[in-house]
Amino acid sequence: MAETITKPIIAKEILESLQAKAEEEKQVIVHCCFPASPFLGNLIRIWHSTYLFDNNSEHRSKLIHAENITIYPNWTPVPFMRDFWFTLVFSGLPKDCQSFDLKELIPEEGGFYVESIKRNSSDVYRVKISESF
């Protein structure tokens, strides 16, 4: 005699809530290039106050992890005349986000800034870092 397996019924509200949570958990990976410099002794670092700002809403994705770059107050030496790459991992962007800015909000000059990064389906990006003044 075959046993009948019944599929559980999950309320629509719970499914929608879980879907929203899953969207929140998605992460955005930004591979950053600090361009080669003709100056010796360049140092860089990233501050925890670095965010991705959705260009069409008030949403900001927070920095979760930084790879190959130190977090304030520590400094990372930049190799002379070589592009320097590091990776930043941020919390997810809203589903309807089409472009965003990467901005380091710091109490001094020289914060990193990349304007209008076009959103893609993988949420993995390669950008060239410039400083805001």
Q: Over the stretch 60-118, which tens digit does the pLDDT of each residue have?
A: 999 999 999 999 999 999 888 899 999 999 999 999 999 999 999 999 988 999 999 99
pTM: 0.79
pLDDT of 14 strictly over 70: no
pLDDT of 133 strictly over 50: no
Three-class HEC string of the chain: CCCCCCCCCCCHHHHHHHHHHHHHHCEEEEEEEECCCCCCCCEECECCCEEEEECCCCCEEEEEEEECCCECCCCEECCCCCCEEEEEEEECCCCCCCEEEEEECCCCCCCEEEEEEECCCCCEEEEECEECC
